[in-house]
Structure 1
Amino acid sequence: MSTTSTDICKAADALLGFVGFNRKLGKYIVRFSEDSFGMDVPDDSITPANEFVWVVKNAQVMTLSRECLQILLEQNINDRLNLCDALLVYLRRTDLPEISAERRRL
């Protein structure tokens, strides 16, 4: 069975958790409650993981960022994040362009 761009987009929308930028460590971290970040993560940097991976390309189009997915992968909590096989295939297939889709942030 092949993995389609629709499968990949659905998998990205099913990501769990919240991502925030830790100023002290200088890197992104994942938590599963918005309230669990602490003082070193500014409130305006806390984003649901399923929104974090989409980057604005222009007014109506967003791109599914391999760089942002890689940040999540490096957390080593794939099951908790719901980082599934479709997204892992997308990360490996760097020979194909990133997926762009008409999408609006919630």
Structure 2
Amino acid sequence: MVPHDHGIEFKNKIIDELLLTFEIGRSLSKKACPYDNAVAEATYKVLKTEFVNQMDFHSLRHLEIELYDYVNWFNKHRIHGTLGYLTPVQYRQEALKKLSDLLLTIHSSP
């Protein structure tokens, strides 16, 4: 039997009810296929090691402020190997530019 993680650490009644309320489905790997969600799993690992395990939160508000700052840094300043060593914001901007250029090429060709 191949061990697998189906998001058990996020499985709880409150989350299940919220997902149901907003009609959101869970994105889980298939059994014996741990790679289809590798980027998300790596992101959770980084979040835990760079943020959660380095902080002591004194209140929910403190957590909210620190998490906001961390996500801002993660998206705008931290480079990611899976994104060609760009930040997520840079990667998105480049992807949108490529798409825009492609659409202009398609629309301007006879």
Relative to the length of structure 1, the TM-score reads 0.25
| Larger strand fraction of residues | 1
Please identify which structure carries the higher helix content.
2
TM-score normalised by L of structure 2 = 0.25
Larger Rg: 2
Larger RCO (CA under 8 A, 6+ residues apart) = 1
